[in-house]
Amino acid sequence: MDIKQIQKIYDFSGKTVVITGGNGVLGGDIAVALAGLGANVAIADLNTDVTGDLQKRMHNLAGDVSIFKCNVLERESLEQTRDAILEKYGSLDILINAAGGNKPQATTSPDLSFFDLPKDALDFVLSLNLQGTILPSQIFGKILAEKDNGIILNVSSMNAFRPLTRIPAYSAAKAAVSNFTQWLAVHLAQEYSANIRVNAIAPGFFLTNQNRFLLTDEKTGELTARGQSIIDHTPMGKFGDPEDLIGAVLWLLSPASSFVSGIVVPIDGGFSAFSGV
Ligand code: NAD
């Protein structure tokens, strides 16, 4: 790669990116960064009500940001979103699977033992994280396969390497997302094209809507014992900021990682490297 190509590595002009869950804390930050670098970004989210910081930041960027109502668990909804994106932008280059999360009813607590976790809550979390990654990869991934080119980036988690206490379904589902990332990377490269790459990021701990109830006290805002334990086990001694993900995401979506496929990159302040002693 000559120096001129290297200088343009993070220029996403002319690329179209779909981000499921792009109206969330982490997906939203990624959406703004990519549009800032020239990409047309289609946010595909169940919630199309963009508020607060994201609303302010998604305007006047080099690329366009638009939002489509989409349920990653419904094929028809994904197909409609795909058609709308193709009509608006003409093509698709990158899929980011960022829809996902846990819920309190699938989380053990002094009031809810593992033995009593309701099946519908477990199903919800398993499905949202795993099927919610597989189904969009089928619908949007087919476009990449047809043009022999493209990138898929999944969002796994620290739970995938070693399960965290209290959240069995979320841990199992994210382990499955990491496994599926490897499977799809191999499948698409062997059956379709070496120009299609599939990787994942595994964020450590970021304070967002899905985990705030576990990490901070609702009334005081103080760290819970679990929140403190996480900080104590993170060598950098802090939660991540969404912007901490951006460098690794850009690398995995750019030609800088052109020979990288099937990996899961931890972005965790050293959490996964620390034995606790
Ligand atoms: P978030 O709750 O802020 O965002 C999730 C987004 O997904 C929301 O906008 C929500 O509306 C959307 N969504 C939920 N169900 C959907 C569905 N069926 N169809 C379409 N969209 C749907 O959470 P976040 O922290 O930004 O999470 C983004 C991803 O990062 C998730 O996969 C999450 O599991 C993962 N993750 C988060 C952390 C963390 O510390 N926050 C750590 C590791 C991994």
- Mean of the pLDDT values across residues 2-7? 90
Contact 95, 150 (CB under 8 A): yes
Query: Which of 32, 46, 152 has most ligand 1 atoms within 8 Å of its beta carbon, as the pocket-test mutant?
Result: 46
Question: What CATH number is given for 10-204+240-266 in this structure?
Answer: 3.40.50.720
Query: Which of 25, 95, 180 has most ligand 1 atoms within 8 Å of its beta carbon, as the pocket-test mutant?
Result: 25
| pLDDT score at 211 | 79
Contact 74, 102 (CB under 8 A): no
- Report the separation in Å between the CA atom of 72 and the middle of ligand 1, taken as the mean of its atom positions: 12
Contact 68, 85 (CB under 8 A): yes
Where do the structural domains in the chain lie, given as residue ranges? 10-204+240-266
In angstroms, the CA 216 to CA 33 distance is: 28
- Mean of the pLDDT values across residues 180-195? 98
Distances (CA, A) of 225 to 114, 217, 228: 20, 9, 5
Evaluate if pTM is beyond 0.75. Answer: yes
Q: Is the CB of 7 under 6 A from ligand 1?
A: no
Which one is predicted more confidently, 266 or 226? 266
Share of the chain above pLDDT 90, in %: 90
Tens-place pLDDT, residues 195-253: 999 999 999 999 887 778 889 998 898 999 989 999 999 999 999 999 999 999 999 99
Residues 10, 89, 170, 192: which is the catalytic one? 170
Whether the pLDDT of residue 53 is over 90: the answer is no
- Report the separation in Å between the CA atom of 3 and the middle of ligand 1, taken as the mean of its atom positions: 37
| pLDDT score at 3 | 93
Q: 25-36 vs 246-253: helix axis angle to the nearest 10?
A: 60
Tens-place pLDDT, residues 129-176: 999 999 999 999 999 999 999 999 999 999 999 999 999 999 999 999
- Report the separation in Å between the CA atom of 21 and the middle of ligand 1, taken as the mean of its atom positions: 6
Q: Which amino acid is at 264?
A: V
Q: Is the CB of 128 under 6 A from ligand 1?
A: yes
Q: Is the CB of 18 under 6 A from ligand 1?
A: no
170 is catalytic: yes
User: Dihedrals φ, ψ of 67, to 5°?
Assistant: -125, 135
